[in-house]
Amino acid sequence: MAGATKKYLGGGRILPPRVRGDMSAAELVDGVFSAYNAARLREGARLFARKMLAPETTVAVSLTGALTPGGYGISCLVPLIEAGFVDWIVSTGANLYHDMHYGLGMHLHHGSPFVSDVELRQAGVIRIYDIFFEYDVLLDTDAFVREVIAAPEFGRPMSSAEFHHRLGGYVAEREKLLSTEGHSLIAACHRAGVPVYTSSPGDSSIGMNVAAMALTGSKLVIDPNLDVNETAAIVYAAKREGGKSGVLILGGGSPKNFVLQTEPQIQEVLGLAEKGHDYFLQITDARADTGGLSGATPSEAVSWGKIDPEQLPSAVVVYTDSTIALPLLAAYALANREPRPLKRLYDRRDALLARLRDDYVARLGTKA
């Protein structure tokens, strides 16, 4: 084979095994996902299991789209958290709100997207595409949130991580009473010490209830400054301690930017030497050519300092629905990696933030 030809034909031969009824999900991904976006999913699964889940890597996950109401918190995210495969999270508030339905023992049902929404409204039924539940599920969850945040411990400003940790503790206690333990993502994060941030605290029913309580004197405020600095401190410490930073992005939107902007915060704003996240894996159905962040590629992120250019080969984008990819990705990781010790980053937030602050202040002093 000529040198030029050999250069392009060095990949393995495409000759997949016949599909069998007893094949595991991991076997399907490795053996049968041979081309197109199936092959990208195979590359992403291998990146996640072989590199991102190395002991020295701190793994962030961003969540958009209605994953938790569809049950993907219970089926996929909670097992990954309990295995130590997720170290910190940035989520939409909606995912955290609908997640609580499960921990509180409420019922969501399979439905059809091809029904009259006028009839559903008249029947008191809420629809999220093909998920149905009673309107009272919202009212009862709202009442739970308001009852919890009326407690004295919530009577002050705090980061969204602290807020969700404290709220998750109450959901975890309710899980024990209802024998629903393991159903709630926010409760699992509380138990595992996984900090959970939301990039738009007011943009969900949780934020709406916080705002409502403010009308009657509640002093609770979700402080975005703390969120920006705490998330940057997590990434900064991971790199300064000789480790690496990996991001698993499910969807796009504001949580994607929030998890990635940690690097520009460190480099551009604070002026501290850094190169960017080491590993990037995104599941998305958004196109890059529309200019939206949800479809922005890892190579574009390099220009912002979000991704280490030397690590660009360790960046994979899978163009598919997260509800298809996430179960396969989770199954592959759990089949190919032993559980990792929990990093419990929530418990270390103050120390990590102090380190970032000290280095920033020292830089300012040197510059002066």
For residue 318, how many C-alpha atoms fall within 13 Å in the half-sphere facing its CB? 31
Instruction: Please identify which of the residues 244, 256, 306, 343 carries the catalytic annotation.
Output: 306
Compute the distance between CA of residue 156 and CA of residue 112 in angstroms, rounded to an integer: 43
Under DSSP, the state recorded for 216 is T
- Asked whether 190 and 168 are in contact (CB, 8 A), the reply is yes
Distance of alpha carbon 225 from its chain centroid, rounded?
20
Other beta carbons within 10 Å of 235: 25
Q: How far is CA 312 from CA 48, 123, 275, 306, in A?
A: 14, 51, 12, 11
Strands 221-222 and 196-197: unpaired
CA end-to-end distance (rounded Å), the chain:
62
75 phi, psi to nearest 5 deg: -75, -35
In the chain, the amino acid numbered 90 is V
Task: Judge whether 306 counts as a catalytic residue.
Answer: yes
- Which among 58, 132, 49 is positioned nearest to 88, based on CA atoms? 58
Token pair in block for residue 310:
């030397």
- Residues 6 or more apart whose CB falls under 8 angstroms from that of 11 comprise none
The one-letter amino acid code at 46 reads: R
Q: Are 120 and 230 in contact (CB under 8 A)?
A: no
Catalytic residue numbers? 306
